[in-house]
């Protein structure tokens, strides 16, 4: 599905591994140019055919966001240039590498095999690995998700695809009861190392049922982890980490982000499942976001910088559990929090995050937390209406201005 | 891929369960005096006569396996279905199941176990008949009525009783309870509270077996999976979805329907448009067999063939076992809806009594030896209860263990450390 989409050319992320202590001040004032993958954050249009249009007027004249490869800091990243690809290709690469690495990794879902996946994430895999390893299932989400869980209990490591995340509502029984709880009710005897993944979120006039945000429904299930990818770099990294994890992980992809282009390292790397990603360090306000809203935030950030604000943008990435360390450090620095998400207002990730921050960091807040979410409305088909159900950059700018009064 | 199935492929004698014979269009008119015990005591149920109710009188065309087998073999006084050893094994397993469930009832009323407890009395022939043919690496998936499946599969009575008492020495550390019996060692994959939920899991286990053979090239992997479930489940989507997938990919699985005619208080006939469940197998491309589930030898015969079929790689089978539970749905069920005459009819077909009779009449062993087994089982149970009684309750520190296989899944706390490294975590007092 090709969509011309506007957003910030993927900002190279700074992801800290737990062993390094993250010090945002240090990163702001001492860019590490030695990493070859670092690049400027600029306003760019990424076309679906892969061409990137850099807008020279929009280039921000400021510090580089230094890059750290998620694994060893002293890795060979400096010597290699990396390679460019689109987000769906990054997911495919991650999946393919893990399938090569471990023969127990398999894929199951609708049209993942011969069709190559509805968003081409599994393209070519069936030819390479065979029809059993990349299994085209009948349209029976609850049952094939359960089948994946049974296979995981008996030794395999399935990656279960929901053609659209919304379809996984039909698999809720299996995801909640078995995925989440079975390790516990069996007293730890059986592990469920599955990855449940698929595209979700609001697309371009896909209609209400294809525009759902299931992260809000799944977040209460004990025993599962949820992550959301937003750039080719973290897409590949999270896919690999999720497959290697012994826990059941739900990986949320977004329908509109599949054609994002970025240069990623050649060598093997993963992104830690429990960590958030610092997108843009700042001083005045902490903006927490994930998935597609990251790009709306970065677009708003450009406007805000021109107006003299200095927002700190964090892509929380890990929707369950929250990385309270990265978030907390940021709150302690800026004292103001704005959450921007695509979930509905009621019971969404933002609502949980607001509660978690209030509980843990109330003393550090100078103002109440603001949370911008989608309207509690089934996503309308009409383009004009759809646009106002999700948060737009202009709203983010207004919110920051309000928060920083 | 067209898969023409009649049970003709299954054994040498086609049982013609599925082919309607022109002479036996029977109106489905249930009366208390119905000669067919299969349809139970729904005396008020009268359905209009219509050709769509093309059901056969069970006594007309449905034939017990052992009967047919006997007819085929030359008459011989040495024509026994089991050896002495097998007979004793089957007897002991069924007695263990029965005695265990009786003990559960006692313990429940004494306040040693709580919640929903579903007992298996009366259905032992199905569990014993099937599971005793399995190897340790074969898998069993059950429902909430899983105590006896666990015992037949080899989980020690001590471990099951402890689990029921909620003790930390239970097979699931006290975290599962009556409806969630699991054993990695014995390949018991649960224990599920929602009906139908275990069938996809069983399908997945069968998928792994096929995957191991074909992708991982473990050529001798021929593990079979048995999925047990009831008549009520056979109206659930997961049942049909898994029949389809299992037949489509020829998975090594046997779907065993324990049709005890009642789903709590809902009669199978009031819930199902076509009550003959075995007929649903051929609709998906697998054989559908009906067997008398009160007769362990008949069940065992059918099971042998179904399991061998799966092991060979010929795909799944649907086996409907007509059986009955002597007690209510659970210990909380007053069991007022079922007709006492129906209960009496099935009580007369008690599988343990029937096997005992067979063993004695065919001189496989003496009554004394059977009594010795009874006594042995009593001792096993006394020991199990004592063990469970004396076992410790789970300490608070166990609360947060096993939620995640990798406890990093609880995330990173405000202090930068993983929450699972917090000492309060191991004490079970951490807030997650």
The residues facing A264 across adjacent strands are: A83
pLDDT at position A172: 96
Whether B202 contacts B233, CB under 8 Å: no
Mean pLDDT (whole number) for B231-253: 97
Q: Do B202 and A246 touch (CB under 8 A)?
A: no
Whether A113 contacts A134, CB under 8 Å: yes
pLDDT at position A349: 96
The yes-or-no verdict on residue B280 having pLDDT over 70 is: yes
The yes-or-no verdict on residue A278 having pLDDT over 80 is: yes
What phi and psi values does residue A258 have, to the nearest 5 degrees?
-65, -20
Looking at per-residue pLDDT, the higher value among B68 and A84 belongs to A84
Q: How far is CA B108 from the centre of its chain?
A: 22
Type and span of the H or E element at A278: strand A277-280
Mean pLDDT (whole number) for A31-46: 41
pLDDT at position B225: 98
Mean pLDDT (whole number) for A240-261: 97
Provide the pLDDT confidence category of residue B162 given band limits of 50, 70 and 90.
very high
pLDDT at position A60: 41
The three-class DSSP label of residue B387 is: helix
Question: What CA–CA distance (Å, rounded) separates A248 from A273?
Answer: 12
Q: Which of B86, B217, B208, B202 is nearest to B143 (CA)?
A: B202
Could you tell me how many CB contacts below 8 A there are between chain A and chain B? 196
Mean pLDDT (whole number) for B109-137: 96
How many secondary structure helices (H) and strands (E) does chain A include? 13, 17
Q: Do A222 and B406 touch (CB under 8 A)?
A: no
For chain A, give percent helix, strand, coil, nearest 5. 35, 20, 45
Average pLDDT over all residues of chain A: 85
Q: Which of B213, B211, B155, B204 is nearest to B184 (CA)?
A: B155
Residue of B nearest to A172 (CA): B197
pLDDT at position A80: 63
Residue of B nearest to A331 (CA): B414
pLDDT at position B65: 52
pLDDT at position A399: 96
* Cβ-count burial B317-353 (b if 16+ within 10 Å, e if not): bbbbbbbbbbbbbbbeeeeeebeeebbeebeebbbbe
pLDDT in tens, A8-22: 333 333 333 333 333
The yes-or-no verdict on residue A312 having pLDDT over 50 is: yes
Provide the pLDDT confidence category of residue B423 given band limits of 50, 70 and 90.
confident
pTM comes to 0.82
Q: Which of A221, A181, A214 is nearest to A197 (CA)?
A: A214
Alpha carbon of B353: minimum distance to chain A alpha carbons (Å): 35
- Lowest-pLDDT range, B56-65, B83-92, B264-273? B56-65
Question: What CA–CA distance (Å, rounded) separates B170 from B150?
Answer: 12
The yes-or-no verdict on residue B40 having pLDDT over 80 is: no
pLDDT at position A39: 42
pLDDT at position B219: 84
pLDDT at position A164: 95
- Lowest-pLDDT range, A31-45, A186-200, B285-299, B371-385? A31-45
Furthest CA-CA distance within chain B = 81
Whether chain B has a CB inside 8 Å of the CB on A42: the answer is: no
- Lowest-pLDDT range, A332-346, B43-57, B203-217, B353-367? B43-57
| Half-sphere exposure for A383 (CA within 13 Å, toward CB) | 1
In this structure, what DSSP letter does residue B418 have? B
Question: What CA–CA distance (Å, rounded) separates B249 from A141?
Answer: 17
pLDDT at position A69: 30
Q: Which of A271, A249, A235, A240 is nearest to A148 (CA)?
A: A249
> In chain A, what residues touch B180 (CB-CB under 8 Å)?
185-186
Question: What CA–CA distance (Å, rounded) separates A146 from B189?
Answer: 12
Q: Do A147 and B237 touch (CB under 8 A)?
A: no
Provide the pLDDT confidence category of residue B428 given band limits of 50, 70 and 90.
confident
pLDDT at position A14: 37
- Lowest-pLDDT range, A60-69, A167-176, B97-106, B297-306? A60-69
pLDDT at position B220: 86
The yes-or-no verdict on residue A25 having pLDDT over 90 is: no
pLDDT at position A181: 93
Q: Catalytic positions of A, please?
A: 141, 210
The yes-or-no verdict on residue A109 having pLDDT over 70 is: yes
Mean pLDDT (whole number) for B30-38: 39
Question: What CA–CA distance (Å, rounded) separates A254 from A232?
Answer: 12
Q: Do A189 and B182 touch (CB under 8 A)?
A: yes
């Amino acid at each position: 599905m090709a969509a011309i989409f506007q957003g910030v050319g993927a900002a190279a992320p700074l992801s800290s591994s737990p062993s390094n202590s993250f010090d945002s001040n240090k990163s702001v004032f001492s860019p590490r140019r030695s990493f070859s993958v670092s690049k400027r954050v600029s306003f760019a249009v990424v076309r679906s055919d892969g061409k990137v249009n850099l807008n020279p007027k929009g280039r921000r004249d400021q510090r580089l966001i230094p890059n750290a490869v998620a694994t060893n800091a002293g890795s060979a990243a400096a010597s290699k240039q990396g390679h460019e690809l689109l987000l769906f290709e990054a997911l495919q690469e991650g999946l393919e590498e893990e399938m090569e690495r471990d023969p127990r990794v398999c894929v199951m879902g609708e049209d993942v095999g011969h069709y190559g996946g509805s968003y081409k994430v599994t393209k070519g895999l069936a030819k390479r690995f065979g029809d059993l390893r990349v299994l085209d299932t009948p349209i029976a989400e609850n049952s094939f998700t359960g089948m994946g869980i049974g296979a995981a209990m008996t030794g395999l490591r399935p990656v279960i695809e929901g053609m659209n995340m919304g379809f996984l509502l039909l698999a809720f029984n299996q995801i909640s009861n078995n995925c989440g709880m079975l390790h516990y009710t069996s007293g730890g005897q059986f592990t469920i190392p599955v990855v449940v993944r698929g595209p979700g979120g609001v697309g371009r006039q896909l209609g209400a049922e294809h525009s759902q945000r299931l992260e809000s429904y799944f977040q209460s299930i004990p025993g599962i982890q949820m992550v959301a990818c937003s750039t080719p770099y973290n897409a590949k990294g999270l896919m690999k980490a999720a497959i290697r994890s012994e826990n059941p992980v739900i990986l949320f992809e977004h329908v509109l982000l599949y054609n994002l282009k970025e240069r990623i390292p050649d060598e093997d790397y993963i992104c830690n499942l429990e960590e958030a990603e610092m997108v843009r360090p700042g001083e005045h306000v902490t903006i927490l976001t994930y998935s597609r809203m990251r790009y709306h935030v970065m677009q708003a950030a450009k406007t805000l910088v021109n107006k003299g604000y200095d927002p700190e943008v964090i892509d929380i990435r890990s929707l369950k559990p929250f990385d309270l360390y990265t978030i907390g450090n940021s709150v302690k620095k800026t004292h103001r929090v704005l959450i921007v998400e695509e979930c509905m207002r009621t019971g969404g990730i933002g609502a949980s995050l607001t509660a978690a921050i209030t509980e843990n960091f109330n003393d550090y807040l100078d103002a109440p937390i603001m949370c911008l979410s989608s309207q509690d409305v089934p996503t309308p088909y009409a383009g004009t209406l759809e646009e106002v159900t999700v948060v737009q950059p202009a709203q983010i700018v207004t919110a920051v201005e309000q928060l920083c009064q | 891929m067209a898969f023409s199935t009649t049970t003709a492929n299954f054994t040498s004698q086609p049982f013609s369960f599925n082919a309607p014979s022109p002479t036996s269009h029977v109106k489905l008119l249930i009366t208390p005096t119905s000669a067919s015990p299969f349809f139970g005591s729904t005396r008020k149920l009268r359905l209009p006569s219509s050709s769509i109710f093309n059901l056969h009188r069970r006594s007309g065309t449905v034939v017990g396996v052992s009967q047919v087998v006997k007819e085929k073999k030359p008459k011989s006084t040495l024509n026994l279905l089991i050896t002495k050893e097998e007979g004793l094994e089957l007897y002991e397993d069924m007695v263990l199941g029965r005695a265990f469930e009786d003990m559960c009832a006692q313990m429940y009323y004494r306040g040693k176990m709580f919640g929903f407890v579903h007992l298996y009395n009366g259905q032992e022939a199905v569990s014993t008949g099937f599971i005793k043919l399995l190897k340790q690496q074969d898998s069993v998936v059950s429902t909430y009525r899983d105590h006896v499946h666990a015992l037949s599969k080899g989980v020690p009575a001590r471990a099951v009783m402890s689990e029921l008492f909620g003790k930390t020495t239970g097979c699931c550390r006290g975290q599962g309870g009556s409806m969630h019996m699991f054993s990695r060692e014995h390949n018991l994959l649960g224990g599920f509270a929602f009906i139908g939920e275990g069938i996809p899991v069983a399908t997945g286990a069968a998928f792994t077996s096929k995957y191991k053979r074909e992708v991982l090239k473990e050529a001798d992997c021929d593990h079979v999976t048995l999925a047990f479930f009831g008549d009520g489940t056979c109206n659930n989507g997961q049942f049909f979805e898994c029949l389809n997938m299992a037949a489509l990919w020829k998975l090594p699985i046997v779907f065993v329907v324990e049709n005890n005619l009642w789903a709590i208080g809902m009669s199978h006939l009031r819930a199902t448009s076509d009550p003959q469940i075995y007929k649903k197998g051929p609709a998906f491309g697998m054989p559908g067999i009906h067997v008398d589930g009160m007769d362990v030898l008949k069940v065992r015969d059918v099971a042998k063939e179904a399991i061998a079929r799966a092991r060979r790689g010929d795909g799944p089978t649907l086996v409907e076992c007509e059986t009955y539970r002597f007690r209510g749905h659970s210990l909380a069920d007053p069991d007022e809806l079922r007709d006492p005459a129906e209960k009496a009819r099935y009580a007369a077909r008690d599988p343990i009594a029937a096997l005992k009779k067979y063993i004695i009449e065919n001189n496989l062993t003496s009554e004394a030896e059977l009594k010795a087994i009874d006594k042995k089982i009593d001792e096993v149970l006394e020991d199990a209860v004592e063990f469970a009684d004396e076992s410790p309750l789970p300490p608070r520190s166990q609360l947060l263990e096993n939620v995640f296989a990798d406890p990093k899944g609880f995330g990173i706390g405000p202090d930068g450390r993983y929450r699972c490294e917090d000492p309060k975590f191991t004490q079970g007092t951490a807030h997650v």
